[in-house]
Amino acid sequence: MAVARTDLARSARPPWYRDVRVMRWVFQLVVVAVVVTVLWRLYSNATSNLRASGLPTGFDFLDRKSRFAIPGLQDSASFTVRQAFIAGYLNTLRVIVVGIPLCTVLGILIGIMRLSDNLLVRAAGTIYVELFRNVPALLWIFITYLVIILQNLPPLSDEVTPFGAFVISNRGVGIPWLNPDASVLTFIGFVGVAMVAVVGVSLWRRSVTDATGRPSRSGLYGIAAFVVVLAIGNFVAGNSLALDPAKVNGRQVGGGLNIFPPYLGLTIALVLYTASHVAEIVRGAIQAIERGQTEACQAIALTTFQRYRYVILPQAFRIMIPPLASQFLNLTKNSSLGVAISYVEIASIFQRVSNNATPALQALVVLMFFYLTLSLGISLIANLINRRLSLETRA
Amino acid sequence: MKRKWIKASAIGVAVALSLAACSSDDDPATSSDDGGAPAATASGQTLKDIVSRDALKCGVNGQLLGFSNVEADGSYTGIDVDYCRAIAAAVLGDPDKVEYTDLTAETRFTALQSGDIDVLIRNGTWTASRDGALGLQWTATTFYDGQGMLVNADSGFGSIADMGGTTICVQTGTTTEINLETYFAGLNVAYEPLNVVDEAAVLENFSSGACDGYTTDKSGLASFAATYDGDVTILDDTMSKEPLGPAVREGDEEWFDIVQWVVFATFQAEEFDLTAANISSYTGTNPSVLAFISQDFEPKLGFPDDQWVVRVIEAVGNYQEIYDRNIKPLGIPEGLNQLWTEGGILYSPPFG
Amino acid sequence: MSDDFGAVSAQEEPLYGAPRLPEGGTGGVRAILRDNLFKDLKNSILTLLFGAVLAFIALRTLRYLFVTARWEIIYDGPLSFYMVGKDFGRTGISYEMLWAGIYVAMFTGGIAAGLGNRSAGPAMSLSARAAMIGGPLFGVVFILSMTRTITPTILTVGAVGFLLLGSQAARRVRGALKRRLGLIMLALVGLSFGFITGFDPSNIDLFGGLLLTLVVAFAGIGLSFPIGVVMALARRSSFPLIRPIAVGYIELIRGVPLISLLFMGQFAIGFMFPPGASIPGPIPRAIIMITLFSGAYVAEVVRGGLQSVPSGQIEAGKALGLSPLTITREIVLPQALRNSIPALIGQFISLLKDVSLLVIIGLQEMLGIIDVVLARREFTNQGYTPEAYAFVGAVYWTLCFSMSRAAQRLETRLGVGTR
């Protein structure tokens, strides 16, 4: 009896090297040890090699003078490397902030075109998507900048000036912009406040609707709130909205806001390229929603616009968010291709900095850090929206 | 059944490809102790590597007429290329044993630091910070250049001081960019830089009128003007000193000496009127010329034998011949690039 | 940077679904025209508007292609620069050998396609078939029109022949041969690689143009595949210490642009080798970074495939008393990998397009070789840029379009998402 029990106990508890629970941890520790060792070796090799080459290993270079000028920025030659990086980061943000909304709008338009029941409209959508999607973004950037913009926009000597407030030339496209005599920062601050106010007002209206059942009219209230806050802002900042028209000023586009050709080329190319991907996402999402819903809409006599605006797009939007977020990330990362046409975004700053006797390895760490913050930021926003929308469906 | 072969092939492909990758990453010619790692170069190591692989790895521009340019058959021509050939002739006995690597302004110094190439002859300017902070050494100057400004002939600009408020095309990531900033700041003239990546982009910008002027080394401007379809002038102002020449990694003194003295040999040959055609049949009795040709005073510079001067000059000629072949067709005035005896500053230390 | 071509489609509707054809329209040409173009006033206006725009674009394009464009930049470039780079002659690989490699590769591709064919998918409509064949055919004719002799055309036709031959062979093999087909295909891939590199992988350093683009893309996807599978399994594993490593790797790589990784390959990894070690050349270094980059994306594709395997399959395996390793190897992975094939092709197309970034680090793939050609004595400063970009764009378009169509067909055939 006793012998049998011992046998049982022994078989229930195998030796440690055959115990799954133990081996799981041993295996994991071994893997972690290998990974850590490899990374440590790479790091120590890098530092010792840098030291042996007489190259600096720290980040002191960030405080040195950059010595190169950044187009469109006064006194940029006296910037430190750190300031140059930040200026480049802002230029990257300029591409993203303009590019993401534009490519979404264009993508939705093309996506809907591809589902049209008109053969030619559908064909145009298909040609657009297949043309832009199957050629590298970099090639589109080259074509847009070097061929389309530089060769087809008029030189500054015979510029086009629509409405006397815009300037179109291959030295820049000038648009009317906020009154430079007013405090731009204050006004932008108020724009932010106005946006918050719109969100607040629409939340308030919704709660009113939920409580009383009266129509929310959040759009109307939102616009009113926006206008009021902006009017106050305009007054405080010193009449920012007295727009400053763009005009030709000697050999430059002066007044207003001058959009430089490299920026234009990069942004247009990225918008066109990304829109072709967005269009496919939109089409897939609409097709997934559409069945049955279209007939229902037609039964209650909604127009095509109403059908998309009130029924299909709101539902399709929910499916679209994760793949759309990934396209926005792609646009963000592709903005680094500005380096190929010398648009002075952050990768281009890296390239110049690393060529002027600066340790490339550390400059690279800085570059990657900036992009990680961008990627994480966009993912975070996408996750928040996604969570909000999926909660709504459950309610 | 099907599952199995998918799995088998997946694993197989993985293994095969990783094996293939290992072997492709291991350049057989440069395996073992070739000192590829940065700054680990001991004196003499570079030459040993070159001899063992039987080829000189030379980093060039590849896209600059007169300096280094690719012909239709894939061969290279230019003054930089000729110095690559001269060095190969000196150490390997054959000017054709050169492997050229095209480098951009951004990749050139790292390529040398990391050991991808043995010598960098890519119209690179010798500056203190590059010599110091980049871990490189410039050996000698093969071309004295200066930064200039190219404008349309009908633009009405007589000098750079007139160019207030203009947009200037400048290549990104070069000393040119910094010189431009310094020079305009010194004149207290406002301008707008328009950065361009390469000369193809310069053409698109300049010809379409997106910039008023284009600045780079005057030799580069001359080669641009020679092929540009339009009336352009190069202003007289010189914005900088641009001594261009071969650079090597710091730490290998023997290799440094070899590259430096190959360059000097071309100067000295011109001074002695020795050309590719006549050096091996020199019948004079001038003892310094004889010593130069035979190298019999045993300078111990690290060359494999004492016939290297003859090989170098027979392969590429003296400096004048190199210049006439490559730079003269572009119509660039000789300026400083003449012997010190003729009003230039080419001056070889004595061979003796 | 990556386009997640099929990545979403693992869960959603196939992105590449055939365009929705309106129902009806069986009453002859007039009825088709009426239903598709002039149904009502709004439709007629749209038709006229888009008809005008499309006609204008078509006219401009044709005029450019046949009248204004100066194609000597391509055929006198010479064309071989765009195809194999300017240093290919120095590798000592004969063009016969290169073509042999291409033929073997086409044959292998044919076998793979032939195996897929067995489970016949829904029949394709005539117009879809025409679009699938017509576009690439036009591209190939355009590219071949730049050649000086008839030889490349004959050889290209031969390559298509080998593709068909392969698919026929795959259908006919039986027995032991068929069971070993995986190994045979693997051997063929190796043979093709051997032919193309002249049995010396270091020759890759001298490659350029389209050849470099393809070699880097194939090497990148092939080498990143095992990394991707391991990382995907690790990310979905129950090991609390290993999961963060996989997550860290995947998210770090996906969070930064490819160009920063390529910069790292050119400027930084040379410093990470132990002192005295031989450092791979610029092209192998680029391949290393592209592999690391692609590995993270492949991992996400495979993870999507893993998620598509129903949990009942795993539970069934457990019920049979199989070990976790066996379940993964014999049950989960085969299904997951099969489901991720279309998305993997999508990933490959992305990678092919991403290889164009090598021009920024000074390598001479197709975009990079343009600079070499434009700097030549005969062409410099004469504004040939548009033609060169148009040609390279056409090559890219032909490759990517035909592959994306193939992926789309495969997707319908495998019925991903519908099971």
Q: What is the DSSP letter of A136?
A: -
Chain A residues close to C50, C-beta within 8 Å:
118, 120-121, 123-124
Query: What pLDDT score does C111 carry?
Result: 87
Residue B351's Cα: distance from chain center in Å? 24
Q: Residue range B308-325: average pLDDT?
A: 95
Residue A157 has its nearest CB partner, among B167, B205, B209, at: B209
C201 closest CA partner among C91, C356, C354, C359: C91
Query: Strands B247-249 and B147-152: what pairing?
Result: unpaired
Nearest Cβ partner of C392 from A27, A119, A139?
A139
Supply the pLDDT for residue A357: 61
Minimal CA separation from A169 to chain C, in Å: 20
Q: Is the pLDDT of residue C283 over 60?
A: yes
Q: Chain A: residue nearest B204 by CA?
A: A146
How many Å lie between the alpha carbon of C375 and the closest alpha carbon of chain A? 16
C7, closest residue in chain A (CA to CA): A323
Which candidate from A55, A341, A357 shows the least CB-CB separation from B197?
A: A341
CB-based contact B332:B218 (threshold 8 Å): yes
B196 at the A interface (CB within 8 A)?
yes
Non-local (6+) Cβ contacts of C173 within 8 A are C181
- Residue from C394, B274, C139 nearest A139 by CA: C394
Confidence band for A158, pLDDT divided at 50, 70 and 90: confident
- Per this entry, what is the length of chain C? 419
Report yes or no: B74 at the A interface, CB cutoff 8 Å: no
Which B residues in the span 213-272 are in contact with C, Cβ-Cβ below 8 Å? 224, 227-229
Whether B17 sits inside 8 A of C382 (CB atoms) is no
Question: What are the pLDDT digits (tens) for C163-210?
Answer: 899 988 888 888 788 788 888 988 999 999 999 999 998 899 899 999
Q: Kindly provide the b/e burial profile for residues B173-202, where b requires at least 16 CB atoms within 10 angstroms of the residue's own CB.
A: bbbbbbbbbebbeebeeebbbbbbbbbbbb
Q: pLDDT at position C115, please?
A: 75
**Is C16 a residue whose pLDDT tops 60?**
no
User: Of A316 and A218, which is predicted with more confidence?
Assistant: A316
pLDDT the model gives residue C12? 37
Under the banding of pLDDT at 50, 70 and 90, the label for residue A289 is confident
Strand ranges, E, within chain B: 56-60, 63-64, 68-70, 76-77, 98-102, 119-120, 136-138, 143-145, 147-152, 166-171, 191-196, 213-217, 232-234, 242-244, 247-249
Residue A258's pLDDT band (cuts 50, 70, 90): confident
Query: What are the residues of chain A with a beta carbon less than 8 Å away from any beta carbon of chain B?
Result: 49, 52-55, 67-69, 71-72, 77, 146-147, 150-151, 155-157, 170-171, 249-252, 261-262, 340-342, 344, 348, 351-352, 354-357, 360
Tell me the residues of chain B between 223 and 282 that have a Cβ less than 8 Å away from chain A. 250
Identify the closest residue of chain B to A69 by CA–CA distance: B181
For B23, which of C86, C88, C201 is closest by C-beta distance? C201
Q: State how far the alpha carbon of C301 is from the alpha carbons of A306, B242, C4, C296, in Å.
A: 37, 52, 8, 9
Amino acid code (one letter) for C50: F
Task: Determine the pLDDT at residue A392.
Answer: 52
Contacts with C4 from chain A: Cβ below 8 Å: 323, 326-327
Helix H, strand E, coil C: the string for chain C is CCCCCCCHHHCCCCCCCCCCCCCCCCCHHHHHHHHHCCCCHHHHHHHHHHHHHHHHHHHHHHHHHHHHCCCHHHHCCCHHHHHHCCCHHHHCCCHHHHHHHHHHHHHHHHHHHHHHHCCCCCCCCHHHHHHHHHHHHHHHHHHHCCCCCCHHHHHHHHHHHHHHHHHHHHHHCCHHHHHCHHHHHHHHHHHHHHHHCCCCHHHHHHCCHHHHHHHHHHHHHHHHHHHHHHHHHHHHCCCCCCHHHHHHHHHHHHHCCHHHHHHHHHHHHHHHCCCCCCCCCHHHHHHHHHHHHHHHHHHHHHHHHHHCCCHHHHHHHHHCCCCHHHHHHHHHHHHHHHHHHHHHHHHHHHHHHHHHHHHHHCCCEHHHHHHHHHCCCCCCCCCCHHHHHHHHHHHHHHHHHHHHHHHHHHHHHHCCCCC
Q: Nearest-CA distance from B307 to chain C in Å?
A: 28
CB proximity B33 to C under 8 Å: yes
Q: Which of C3, C357, C98 is nearest to A139 (CA)?
A: C357
DSSP-derived secondary structure letter, A114: T
Q: Give me the residues paired with residue B242 across strands.
A: B145
> Is B65 within 8 Å of C380 when comparing Cβ atoms?
yes
**Has residue B3 got a pLDDT over 50?**
no
Give the pLDDT score at A7. 58
Residues of B within 8 A of A352 (CB-CB) are 172-173, 177
Distance to chain B for C263, nearest Cα, Å: 9
Of the partner residues C260, C264, C404, the one whose CB lies closest to the CB of residue A134: C404
Band of residue A374 on the pLDDT scale cut at 50, 70, 90: very high
- Does residue C4 surpass a pLDDT of 50? no
Residue A142 pLDDT level (bands cut at 50, 70, 90): very high
Are the beta carbons of C362 and B102 separated by less than 8 Å? Answer: yes
| Contact state of C182 with B9 under an 8 Å Cβ cutoff | yes
Pairwise CA distance, residues C366 & B165, whole Å: 38
Q: Is C281 in Cβ contact with B38 (below 8 Å)?
A: no
Which among B129, B166, B201 has the least Cβ separation from residue A251?
B166
Residue C198 near chain B (CB below 8 Å):
no
Closest residue in B to C79 (Cα) is B72
- If you search the block for the tokens 């044709």, which residue do you land on? C62
Decide which of A110 and A73 is more confident. Answer: A110
Q: Is B71 on the interface with C (CB under 8 A)?
A: yes
What is the C-alpha to C-alpha distance for residues B343 and B320, in angstroms, rounded to an integer? 14
Query: For chain C, which chains pass the contact test of at least 3 CB pairs under 8 Å?
Result: A, B
The token pair at B16 is: 């095969």
- Contact between C147 and C79 under an 8 Å Cβ cutoff? The reply is yes
Q: Is B77 in CB contact (< 8 Å) with chain C?
A: no
* Nearest chain A residue to B251, by CA: A53
Option in A46, A124, A147 nearest C50 (CB): A124
pLDDT at C415 over 70: no
Chain A interface includes B179 (CB < 8 A): no
Min distance C239 CA to chain A CA atoms (Å): 7
**DSSP class per residue in B152-202:** EGGG---SGGG-TTEEEEEETTSHHHHHHHHHHHHHT--EEEEEESSHHHH
Residue C25, chain A, CB below 8 Å: the answer is no
Give the count of Cβ contacts less than 8 A between chain A and B: 101
Is residue B10 predicted with pLDDT exceeding 60?
no
Instruction: Tell me if chain A has a CB within 8 Å of the CB of B209.
Output: yes
CB-CB under 8 Å, B208 with A49: no
Residue B321 or residue C406, greater confidence: B321
What residue type is B119 in one-letter code? V
Residues in chain B, overall count: 352
C266: number of Cβ within 10 Å: 27
Judge: A68–B250 Cβ closer than 8 Å, yes or no.
no
Cβ contact C257–A334 (<8 Å): yes
Compare CB distances from B12 to C183, C202, C329 and report the shortest one's residue. C183
Question: pLDDT per residue over A177-207, tens digit each?
Answer: 887 777 778 888 888 898 898 888 888 888 8
Q: What does each C-alpha distance from C99 to A231, C143, C192, C193, C198 come to in angstroms?
A: 71, 17, 9, 11, 11
Cβ(B120)–Cβ(B127) under 8 Å?
Answer: no
CB contact under 8 A, B193 and A69: yes
Q: How far is CA B217 from the centre of its chain?
A: 13
Q: Give the one of A136, A147, A375 whose C-beta lies nearest to C353's C-beta.
A: A136
What ipTM was predicted for this assembly? 0.89
| A 150-189: CB under 8 A from C | 151
pLDDT at residue B27 is higher than 70? no
The three-class DSSP label of residue B120 is strand
Cis peptide preceding C78, ω within 30 of 0: yes
Helices assigned H by DSSP within A53-153: 81-113, 119-133, 137-142, 150-152
What mean pLDDT is reported for chain B? 85
Q: State the best of C221, C381, C410 to mutate against chain B, taking most chain B CBs within 10 Å.
A: C381
Task: From chain B, pick out residues whose CB is under 8 angstroms from the CB of A155.
Answer: 208-210
pLDDT band at C419 (very low <50, low <70, confident <90, very high): very low
C371 shares contact with chain B (CB less than 8 Å): yes
C residues 105-164 near A, CB within 8 Å? 135
Q: Do C183 and B9 touch (CB under 8 A)?
A: yes
Question: How close is the nearest chain B Cα to the Cα of A249, in Å?
Answer: 9
- For B328, other C-beta atoms within 10 Å of its C-beta total 13
